[in-house]
Amino acid sequence: MRVEYINPFIRSLDHTFMTMLGCEGRRGQISIKSNSSPHYEISGIIGLSGRAIGTVVLNLSEGVALKAASHMLMCETTEINADVVDAVGELANVVAGAAKSELESYQLTASLPSVITGRHHEVRFPSNVTPICVPFDTKWGPLALEVGFGPIPATVGAV
Amino acid sequence: MRVEYINPFIRSLDHTFMTMLGCEGRRGQISIKSNSSPHYEISGIIGLSGRAIGTVVLNLSEGVALKAASHMLMCETTEINADVVDAVGELANVVAGAAKSELESYQLTASLPSVITGRHHEVRFPSNVTPICVPFDTKWGPLALEVGFGPIPATVGAV
DSSP A103-124: TGGG--EE---EEEE-TT-EEE
Give the C-alpha distances (Å, rounded to integers) separating B128 from A5, A83, B38, B54, B150.
31, 11, 21, 12, 7
List, for residues B21-47, the tens digit of each pLDDT value: 999 999 999 999 988 788 899 999 999
3-class DSSP assignment, residue A153: coil
Local structure of residue A21 (DSSP, 8 states): H
Asked if A13 contacts A25 with a C-beta cutoff of 8 angstroms, the reply is yes
- Scanning A58-77 for CB atoms below 8 A from B yields none
pLDDT recorded at residue B156: 45
CB–CB contact A49 B109 (8 Å): yes
Phi, psi for residue B55 in degrees, rounded to 5 = -140, 140
* Chain A nearest CA to B137, separation (Å): 24
Q: How many CB pairs under 8 A join A and B?
A: 133
Name chain A contacts of B151, Cβ cutoff 8 Å: none
pLDDT recorded at residue B39: 87
List, for residues A19-72, the tens digit of each pLDDT value: 999 999 999 999 999 887 888 999 999 999 999 999 999 999 999 999 999 999
Q: Return the percentage of chain B with pLDDT > 90, whole number.
A: 79
* Chain B nearest CA to A41, separation (Å): 10
- Scanning A104-133 for CB atoms below 8 A from B yields 109-127, 129
Q: Which residues on adjacent β-strands are paired with residue B56?
A: B46, B147
Mean pLDDT of chain B: 91
pLDDT recorded at residue A5: 87
The minimal CB distance from B111 to the residues A54, A83, A118 is found for A54
Spell out the residues 6+ positions from residue B124 whose beta carbon is closer than 8 angstroms to its own. Answer: A82, A85, A114, A115, A116, A117
* Chain B nearest CA to A6, separation (Å): 16
Chain A contact present for B54, CB below 8 A:
yes
ipTM: 0.90
| A159 has a pLDDT exceeding 50 | no
The whole-angstrom separation of Cα A9 and Cα B16 is: 35
**Is B37 buried (19+), middle (13-18) or exposed (0-12) by CB count in 10 A?**
middle
Task: Provide mean pLDDT across the span A128-157.
Answer: 87
| Nearest C-alpha in A relative to B41 | A121
Name chain A contacts of B126, Cβ cutoff 8 Å: 85-86, 89-90, 112-113, 115
Q: Return the percentage of chain A with pLDDT > 90, whole number.
A: 79
Name chain A contacts of B113, Cβ cutoff 8 Å: 126
List, for residues B57-106, the tens digit of each pLDDT value: 999 999 999 999 999 999 999 999 999 999 999 999 999 999 998 998 89
pTM surpassing 0.80? yes
